[in-house]
Each structure stands twice: as C-alpha cells, then as structure tokens.
Amino acid sequence: MTKRSLHLSCRFLCGLVCLVAVTSSIPCTARVYIDITAPHLRQIPTAVPLFKRLGPGSENQELTRDLADLLGETLVFTGFFKTLQREAFLEDPQDGSLMQQAINFKNWTDIGAELLVKGGFEYHEGLLKVEIRLYDAFSGQLLVGKRYTGHLKDSRRMIRRFCDEIVRLLTGHEGIFDTRIAFVSSTKQGKEIFIADFDGYDCQQFTHSGTITLFPAWSSDGKWLAYTDYKRGKPDLYIRNVTQNQGTVTSFKGSSISPAWVPGQFALAASLSHEGNPSLYLLTGKGGIIKKLTHHWGIDVSPTWSPDGKAIGFVSDRAGTPQLYIKDLENEKIRRLTFEGKYNTTPEWSPRGDFIAYSRMEAGQGTNIFIISADGTRNYQLTRDSGNNESPTWSPDGTLIAFSSDREGHSNIYVMNSNGSNQRRLLDLPGQQTEPSWSPRLSGY
C-alpha cells in the first residue's frame, strides 16, 4: 500500500484498514454517465445482486442481503440511480462470479440494467473482508473495484466509501456520504439541536440546554456549530466545536440570532439587536464584532453567503413585508431579489452559486420551498399541496435539498432532489423537527 493510500484509509475509516486491491477508471473515450447540473436527472437503472460469500464457512450469512440492501439504498438516496428488482435477475448471486471475464453481461442488459454492482464478503472470527466492483453492463467494462477489511461495525463505512467512489467516478464531483445534518427537535424540556448522518442514521443529541436552541449553522470546515440558545433567558449566540467540549458565548443586549459562517473563514454573520432594530453584523469565530453589514430602520435577519463570500443574501421587511435582498460587499450596493409573494424567508445560497432556496408563505397555500436564481430572472416552486415546507438547506454538491415539513401532521425533516423530485422523509423521531442545516464534507468522519 502506498503512503497516500494509507493516509486516506486512516483518515476516513478511523482505524478501519482499507485495502485497495482492484482499481479501474473510465477512459477518456467513455460516455459521461451523470451530469449533476442537468435540470432533469435521469436515474440510471442499476442492478445490485446479493453479495456472494467468498470464503468457505463464512459467518453471518445474512450479510449477503444486508450489504447489498445497504449499498442499493445508499445509491438510491442520491437520486442518480434506480435499483432493479432482484426478482427479475437471471442468475443466482452465489453461483455468479465477481470477475469480469466470467460475467454474462447479456443477463443484465436483458433486464434493463445499465450498471452492475457485484459484491462479495468473507466474515470469520470478527474480521470482515468486502470486495465490490462496478461494471458498465453494456460494454462489460470494469469501472471501479475496491477491497475493504475491518470489523462488522465498519460495514456501513465500507459501503459508503464505495458509493463515494461511484459518485465521484460517474459525476466528476465528490459525494455526500461523509456529511451530516443538524436540526432542531422538540423535547420535554424545550428545543434541542440534534445531528444525524446525511441519510438519518446515527442520530444524536448535540445540545442539552434544557430550554430553547435554534438556528444551527455549520462552519465551512465542519468543525464548529453556531446556534442561538435561550439558556441565559434571552437569545444568545453560541459557537461550539462539534467534537470537543469547547466554544464561546456571545451575549449582547437584545437578540443574537440566525448565524451564517463566511465561506472558508473562521468568521460569521448574525442578526443582532443590541443597537435597536435587528441588523446584520460580521463577527469573528469567537463572537467579537468586526463590523456592521446592514444599516436600515427595518428588520434584517437570516444571512446567507454566496459561495465566494463576495455577497450576502438576507431577509428584510424594509419594503413592508419580509423579502429577500442581496448585498454586494465590494460595492456595498443592496438589491431586492424577490417581488412575488408577501412573506419570503429562510434563504440559503446553493453551493454552485446559481440559485438561492427559500420559503414563501401565501394565503390559502401554506408555506412552500422555492428556488430563485441569484440574478432574480428564474424562480421555481419545488413543493406544493403538501402542508407547510420551510427552512431549505443544500447538500454540499448542490444536488439535494433538506427541509422541514408538517405534511404528515407534525414537522419532520425531508429531503428532495434540487429540482423538487423524489421528496421523502429523512427521520422518524418523536416531537417536531425543524431548521435543518447540511454540513460540508467532513474529512475523517
């Protein structure tokens, strides 16, 4: 194993040994599989047969299905893939081979598969070895293959690591499999911040304030969360390290709400009211004021940064009702972005910088998620006829949007493709879940 492979393995698996034994990549002449910037993504039909037992007498035989199901579910979550029903498969996975030369690819193209993922495992005396290969079913070409070795508890990390390889290979972009989502959930004591994996797995309570916490926001390196906490009787700004028990509290007169981190910097914007009406301020990562960003008698809240940090969007009632505005920080000019709808809130700039997602409330229609281009020329509605939908947050690759919705009677976190398709519930927790915030990629997670 090379020094670089060892470094990457240790960083991702945190003790899990990752052995790269089979590797291939698409040649320059191959077709482009997935264009994540396309307005309408076609889901690629993908076959994921049960994993093959590679070693004699392998323990835990249910892994044949568990590993395959997990891989299929993880791929489907991205919105790029459609897994085919196994009842239609023409071969027994335990009789088939992972080797390219031994696979009858016509068996797979005949049932409509364009991609084929073959996997196998050995599990003996607590050690799990997994081998997975991705094939182009039409050409029979091996696109990527990997082997991983670790413990049973590491199986989810192994599968996610391979799915990351698939997405990177087929799109040219990093995947979302090392990201997390912070959100607010009601408890018996009030409201606390929780954090879950991108797919809702491994949900954990982050704050234990015993009162009300709101507005979680990730730093651009994923190491810090800023949020508003009423622990001291009023809305103060807390800045806390995600993995270490350290942080700061910023307590000004009045309210300190809706933080948003500056891209690539240990600094953030927030709405403070210590000088009167709520206005936007630029703060250090420790909560000290650098400068005031907006100067108006109206209420300015909910800042959101352009990916390059050169502009900031926000909500203001300076025209009479809450609308979205953008301030160019180079020339100090402010322009109004939304003119439709009387109550537009919770904006978030997309990672690619082309759109801003936001919530719009209209009489008789509830609250829905929209996206508007940064120049205001294009405006699309993503949710409709499904209760109240609020607080959109983008995945770091810009292909998915998480949001809160009460479509099932109480608020919960949902996720959809960035064009509004494939809306599904992310979590199943008691209470009300609101205000999701999607993390950047978390190296080492």
Work out whether the CA dihedral 177, 194, 202, 391 comes out positive or negative. negative
Q: Are strands 44-47 and 115-124 parallel, antiparallel or unpaired?
A: parallel
Which homologous superfamily does the CATH classification assign to the domain defined by 180-438?
TolB, C-terminal domain (2.120.10.30)
Task: Assess contact for 294 and 270: CB atoms under 8 A.
Answer: no
DSSP 212: B
pLDDT of residue 60: 73
In angstroms, rounded to a whole number, what is the distance separating the alpha carbons of residues 147 and 212?
46
**Which ranges in the chain are annotated with CATH 2.120.10.30?**
180-438
| Distant-in-sequence, close-in-space partners of 376: CB < 8 Å, separation ≥ 6 | 337, 338, 339
pLDDT at 27: 43
Instruction: State pTM to two decimals.
Output: 0.90
- Per-position DSSP letters for 31-46, written without gaps between them: PP---TTSSSPPPEEE
Cα angle at 248 between 237 and 283, to 5 degrees? 60
pLDDT of residue 217: 98
Number of H helices, E strands in the chain: 4, 30
Task: Please report the pLDDT score of residue 125 as a whole number.
Answer: 83
What tokens appear for 180 in the block? 């997390």
Q: Taking the mean position of all CA atoms in its chain, how far away is CA 102?
A: 38
CA-to-CA distance for 441 and 238, rounded, in angstroms? Answer: 22
Query: Which token pair is 283?
Result: 């703060």
Written as six digits, the tokens of 408 are: 């099932």
- Give the count of beta carbons closer than 10 Å to the beta carbon of residue 431: 16
* CA-based end-to-end distance of the chain: 22
pLDDT at 16: 37
Q: DSSP states of 303-345 as a string? A: EEE-TTSSEEEEEE-TTSS-EEEEEETTT--EEE---SSS-EE
- CB neighbour list of residue 374: distance below 8 Å, 6 or more residues apart: 306, 311, 326, 337, 349, 353, 354, 355, 356
For residue 393, what is the enclosing H or E element? Answer: strand 389-394
**Residues of the chain with confidence (pLDDT) below 50:** 1-30, 445
Give the side-chain half-sphere CA count within 13 A for 70.
Answer: 20
CATH 3.40.50.10070 spans which residues of the chain?
Answer: 3-171
Answer for the pair 8, 26: CB distance below 8 angstroms, yes or no: no
Q: What angle do helix axes 63-77 and 155-171 make, rounded to 10 degrees?
A: 40
Furthest CA-CA distance within the chain: 75
- Of 259, 248, 240, 359, the C-alpha closest to 305 is 259
> What CATH code would you report for 3-171?
3.40.50.10070
CA-CA-CA-CA torsion for 409, 414, 417, 418, nearest 10 degrees?
90
Q: At what angle do helices 155-171 and 3-13 cross, to 10 degrees?
A: 120
Model confidence pLDDT, tens digit, residues 413-445: 999 999 999 999 999 999 999 999 999 999 754
The DSSP bridge pattern shows strands 115-124 and 52-53 to be parallel
